[in-house]
A and B are shown apart, each in its own frame.
Chain A
């Protein structure tokens, strides 16, 4: 028995050492030096689900503020149902946009209103136009930003940087003037959370910039949190269904594991004791 316990202990040690060595390592790089404020996101953790009201507010901030520079290429209007809109509301949201629709008899481009199956249109026709309009910088697409800025560490969670915290950090830590001794390049702003502190994006959010339909005060921090939630949803739209299925799978497999443990013990009973040898 003692020997067996020792073996199990050893096994746990080796397995966890291997995993620690591997996984925490794979993510250690690239952290920002700025200590980001960690928020309690309602969608964090194994049971966390999206705050639908916040998602809708985030969509509003994206549409009214961010969308003038940032595309959202991979999200279709039909997916907005996940934000709590019904089919008619989704249709109306899509119809706010226009899409090229072939050419008329004079060879001029024709337009039609958007349908749920359309994707969010990009603000610029191409990267060159985007750079030209933004002082040479290219505003990144929003579809995957929520995931491509996070640096997760399984065994040193205190070093993990979550995409949402990073986005809020960027939006909240602009300084009007660079600290003394820091020379800002032409057209750059000073930002504490951004690696290198010089960011090409001018401060995008100001208090009361948008008017929320649900009456939530539109502080800069609130807008940043809402748009970060929205961006994380855009990056990981299947999160809710994933976590719900995960719970079922893990409960099911745990039961099966326990049953198989007893099956195994029953099968081995005589052999373990060495009864067949005596």
Chain B
């Protein structure tokens, strides 16, 4: 049996608790939404994001030449390959010394254009052009030899040179990133 007084008291407690809990919840939501701008400001800013993708005009690269551009703070190699180079690259798909086997067709959307991140997968040096055992790329830091498809063939590097995400907007323009 409960007295009238007790009932009133308990109702008061419930009402009070509800007010406190609701206010606390609203306050917590507010505090949480303040935190987001304070964290998000550390994400790449608009001017940095604007450079996340670059468009490259390919008409300026003659056959047998490599263009180096800076993209997201790293060098990008754009090689206009000759027919002979493409032939070699495809022929080497089955080579036994491939450390990280990959078909050349999977590395170049259009065989004449090989686009790669110019960072050695060993310790991050920039490989040199037209050097090494395969007359393609050679990393001077620890002697990694890459072939004309950018595949690691000899030396300490564990993986092939990375192919970034890219898309041909038309025959003469490629968008990287």
Q: Please tell me if the beta carbons of B57 and A76 are within 8 angstroms of each other in the complex.
A: no
A262 to B21, CA, bound (A): 13
A266 sits at the interface (CB 8 A): yes
Distance, CA A81 to CA B50, complexed state (A):
13
Are A76 and B23 also in contact (CB < 8 A) when A112-B57, A256-B30, A266-B16 are?
no
B50 touches A78 (CB 8 A): yes
Contact A117 B47 (CB under 8 A): yes
A252 and B47 contact, CB distance less than 8 A: no
Residue ID in chain A nearest B26 by CB atoms: A256
Q: Would you call B50 and A256 a contact (CB within 8 A)? A: no
- Digit string of A236-263 for contact with B (CB within 8 Å is 1, else 0)? 0000000000000000110110011011
Q: How far does the alpha carbon of A251 sit from the alpha carbon of B57 in the complex, in Å?
A: 51
How distant is the Cα of A13 from the Cα of B158 in the complex, in angstroms? Answer: 74
Q: Which residues of chain A have C-beta atoms less than 8 A from B19's C-beta?
A: 259, 262-263, 266
**Which residues of chain A are near B123, meaning CB under 8 Å?**
none
Within 8 A of A (CB), among B1-48: 16, 19-20, 22-23, 26-27, 30, 46-47
Q: Is the CB of A117 within 8 A of B51?
A: yes
Taken together as a complex, chains A and B put the C-alpha atoms of A266 and B47 apart, in Å, by 51
- Bound CA–CA A255/B20 (angstroms): 14
- The number of residue pairs between A and B whose CB atoms lie closer than 8 Å in the complex comes to 32
* Chain B positions within 8 Å of A112 at CB level: 57
Residue on A with the closest CB to B48? Answer: A117
**Set of chain A residues within 8 Å of B57, measured between Cβ atoms:** 112
Residue of chain A at shortest CB distance from B50: A117
Q: Do A259 and B22 have beta carbons less than 8 Å apart? A: yes
Interface size class of B (residues with CB under 8 A): 10 to 19
Q: Which residue on chain A has the smallest CB distance to residue B55?
A: A115
Instruction: Indicate if A116 sits at the interface (CB-CB under 8 A).
Output: yes
B50 touches A116 (CB 8 A): yes
Cα-based distance from A263 to B20 in the complex (angstroms)? 7
Residues of B contacting A78 in the complex (Cβ-Cβ under 8 angstroms): 46, 50
Per the bound structure, the CA–CA distance linking A193 and B26 in Å amounts to 51
Q: Which residue of A lies closest to B46 (CB)?
A: A78
In whole angstroms, how far apart are the Cα atoms of A263 and B27 in the complex?
12
- Contact partner of B27 (CB less than 8 A), chosen from A76, A116, A256, is A256
Are B47 and A259 in touch, CB under 8 angstroms? no
Residues of B within 8 A of A253 (CB): 30
State the CA gap A75–B16 with chains docked (Å). Answer: 54
Q: How far is the CB of B50 from chain A (nearest CB, A)?
A: 4
Known: A112-B57, A252-B30, A266-B16. 12 other contacts (CB 8 A): A78-B50, A115-B54, A117-B47, A117-B50, A117-B51, A252-B26, A253-B30, A255-B26, A259-B23, A260-B27, A262-B19, A266-B19
Interface residues, chain B, with chain A CB atoms under 8 Å away: 16, 19-20, 22-23, 26-27, 30, 46-47, 50-51, 54-55, 57
Top 8 closest pairs, chain A to chain B, by CB: A117-B50, A259-B23, A78-B50, A263-B23, A256-B26, A117-B51, A266-B16, A263-B19
CB pairs A–B below 8 angstroms (30 shown): A76-B47, A76-B50, A78-B46, A78-B50, A112-B57, A115-B54, A115-B55, A117-B47, A117-B50, A117-B51, A252-B26, A252-B30, A253-B30, A255-B26, A256-B23, A256-B26, A256-B27, A256-B30, A259-B19, A259-B22, A259-B23, A259-B26, A260-B23, A262-B19, A262-B23, A263-B19, A263-B20, A263-B23, A266-B16, A266-B19
